[in-house]
Amino acid sequence: MVFAKKIKNLVMVKLRTNLNRSGNKEGRTLILGAYGFGNMGDEAILQGILEEMNNKEHVDVVSATPRETETLHRVRAISMKQINSTKYSTVILGGGGYRSGNYKNPVEICLRLKEKGAKVIIRAIGPTPEVAGKEDFNPDELGVKEKALLKEIVKKADYFSVRTHKDLERIKKYTNLDREIKVETDPAYHISFSREKGEELLKNFDFSIKEKLCGISIAKFGYREGLKDFIENYKKDFTLIPIPMSRHYYAGFENDVILLKKYFKELKLLSKNTIKWMEYPFTPSELKSVLANLTYLITARKHAVVLALGGGLNPQQILLLGTRESGMAEYFNVKEIDWRQWPRSPDGLGFMLAKKIINIKGYIEVVKKRWD
C-alpha cells in the first residue's frame, strides 16, 4: 500500500491548496455525509477527512446527532437545518453512495453552495449496491433523475474522486463527461490507530491476544440460512470476536449489535463480557486498533475491510461477503463471495464451505439438495 500512501499525499496537497485559496471572508468549511447515525464506516471517513485538515476550528460537520459527533470528533457539528449557505467557502461531501435516493439532499446542498461561490470537493464516493439489503438493486442502472443529478455534481465539483476503478467506469458511463476524476483510497484507510491500544481493549474484555482471533462483522443483508454453520466451523481454530460496524439509531435493520447478539447466541458464544464488548462505544481509531490484532476477518461491512487493511492485515486474512458490484474486492485484492447466492448456488458460500474450507462428510449432498 506504499503507492496508495503516495497518491494520498499528493491528493492532500491539492486539497489543502484548494482550501487555502478560498475567497470567502469567514473561510469556513462544511463537511457533509452520513454522520451521526452510528455507522463506524462513515465516522471513520469523517475522521480521515478531519485528520487531513490543519485546523478544525473553521469546520462545521452536518450530523444527525450533533452532540455525539462533537464528542466523538472534537469538532463543531450542526443539523441540516442549521446550514447557512452564505458563510461557507468550501464544502466537502465525504463517502457514501451516489444514488439520488440516498444523497439527494447533500448533493443539492453542494450545488447550492457552489452557486454561492463555495468550492465543492467530493471525496471517495461509491455505489452502495446493498442499500437496505435489496438484492435487486443494480448500480449499473440509474434512473433519469439520478443520472441528471450525478452529471451536474460531477460537472460542477472542483474536485471529484471515487473509491474504485469500477466506480470510475460507472461515473464515466453515467455522465459522459470529459473531466478528471480520481480513484482515491477511502479516507478511513489512513486514520490513526495503535496496535497496543487494541491489545489493551481486547485484554480488558478477557480476549487473549495470544490466541488466533477471527473477527465477525455481519450486516443484515449478509444474514442467510446456513451462514451460522459456515462461521461455526471457525470456532475450531479461532477465538471468534464480534465486530459491530453499525449502530444506526433510526434503523433497527442496520444495527449490527442486535444481529451479532443473535449470531453469537446461536453459536453459544454469547456471554456478559461479549455483550459488554458489543455495546462498548468504540471510536473509529479504537476499532481499527482492534482489527489490527486479528488473525482473520469475515465481514459483510466494506469499511471493516478498509480499516483492517489500514491496520496492517494483508488481503489473504480477509473474507468479504459482498455482491461483487462495488469493485472494492478487486481494488484491495481481497477474497469476495456473493452472499445473495448462499446457499443455493455453487458460486456462493455453500460451495465454498463444502469444497474449499472444510471437508465434512455428506455436507456436499446437503448443499446440493438446497440448490435443487
pLDDT interval class at 349 (50, 70, 90) = very low
- The C-alpha torsion from 35 through 37 and 43 to 49, rounded to 10°, is 0
Same domain, 205 and 226: yes
Q: What is the pLDDT of residue 130?
A: 35
Give the pLDDT score at 347.
40
Higher pLDDT among residues 14 and 41, named by residue: 41
pLDDT on residue 171: 84
Tell me which residue of 98, 37, 83 sits closest to 250, measured CA to CA. Answer: 37
pLDDT given at position 48 = 96
- Percent of the chain whose pLDDT exceeds 90: 41
Residue 351 has pLDDT above 60, yes or no: no
Same domain, 249 and 354: yes
- Give the domain-ending residue among 190, 216, 246: 190
Residue 268 CB burial class (10 angstroms; 0-12, 13-18, ≥19): exposed
Asked whether residue 253 falls in the same domain as residue 144, the answer is no
Rounded mean pLDDT of the chain? 78
Among 190, 222, 257, the domain boundary falls at 190
Residues 176, 200: one domain? no
Per-residue pLDDT tens digits for 50-75: 999 988 999 999 998 899 999 999 99
| Angstrom distance (rounded) from CA 258 to CA 252 | 8
CA 176 → CA 39, 67, 124, distances in Å?
33, 41, 19
In whole angstroms, what is the distance from residue 286 CA to residue 199 CA?
Answer: 10
Q: Spell 196-222 as b/e; 16+ CB within 10 A means b.
A: ebbbebbeeeebeeeeebbbbbbbbbb
How many domains does the chain contain in total? 2
pLDDT value for 256: 85
Per-residue pLDDT at 350: 43
pTM for this one? 0.81
Sorting pLDDT into bands at 50, 70 and 90, what band is 145? confident
CA distance 18 to 6: 19
Q: Domain of 314?
A: 195-371
Instruction: Identify whether residues 279 and 352 lie together within a single domain.
Output: yes
pLDDT the model gives residue 345: 39
* Res. 300 pLDDT band, cuts 50 70 90: confident
Determine which of 197-206, 256-265, 358-367 has the lowest per-residue pLDDT on average.
Answer: 358-367
The predicted pLDDT at position 225 comes to 56
pLDDT, residue 72, reads: 92
98, 241: one domain: no
Question: Residues 207, 183: one domain?
Answer: no
pLDDT at 200 over 80: yes
Last-in-domain residue among 173, 190, 207: 190
Q: Are residues 156 and 233 in the same domain?
A: no
Tell me the per-residue pLDDT of 22-52, one tens digit each, with 9 for 90 and over: 334 468 999 999 898 888 999 999 999 999 9
Asked if residue 120 lies in contact with residue 113, where contact means CB atoms within 8 angstroms, the answer is: yes
**Domain match, 18 and 161 both:** yes
Confidence of residue 174 (pLDDT cuts 50, 70, 90): confident
Q: Do residues 62 and 101 both lie within one domain? A: yes
Statement to judge: residues 177 and 199 lie in one domain: no
Shared domain check, 220 and 166: no
Residue 241 is which amino acid?
Answer: I
- More reliable by pLDDT, 175 or 354: 175
pLDDT band at 104 (very low <50, low <70, confident <90, very high): low
- Show the 3-state SS of the chain: CHHHHHHHHHHHHHHHHHHHCCCCCCCEEEEECCCCCCEHHHHHHHHHHHHCCCCCCCEEEECCCHHHHHHHHCCEEECHHHCCCCCEEEEEEECCECCHHHHHHHHHHHHHHHHCCCEEEEEEEECCCCHHHCCCCCCCCCCHHHHHHHHHHHHHCCEEEECCHHHHHHHHHHHCCCCCCEECCCHHHHCCCCHHHHHHHHHHCCCCCCCCEEEEECCHHHCCCCHHHHHHHHHHCCEEEECCCEECCCCHHHEHHHHHHHHHHHCCCCCHHHHHHHHCCCCHHHHHHHHCCCCEEEECCHHHHHHHHHCCCCHHHEEEEECCCCCHHHHHCCEEEEHHHCCCCCCCHHHHHHHHHCCCCCHHHHHHHHHC
The yes-or-no verdict on residue 356 having pLDDT over 80 is no
How far is Cα 160 from Cα 158, in angstroms, rounded to an integer? 7
pLDDT score for 187: 93
Instruction: Check if the beta carbon of residue 78 is closer than 8 Å to that of residue 31.
Output: no
CATH code (residue 336) = 3.40.50
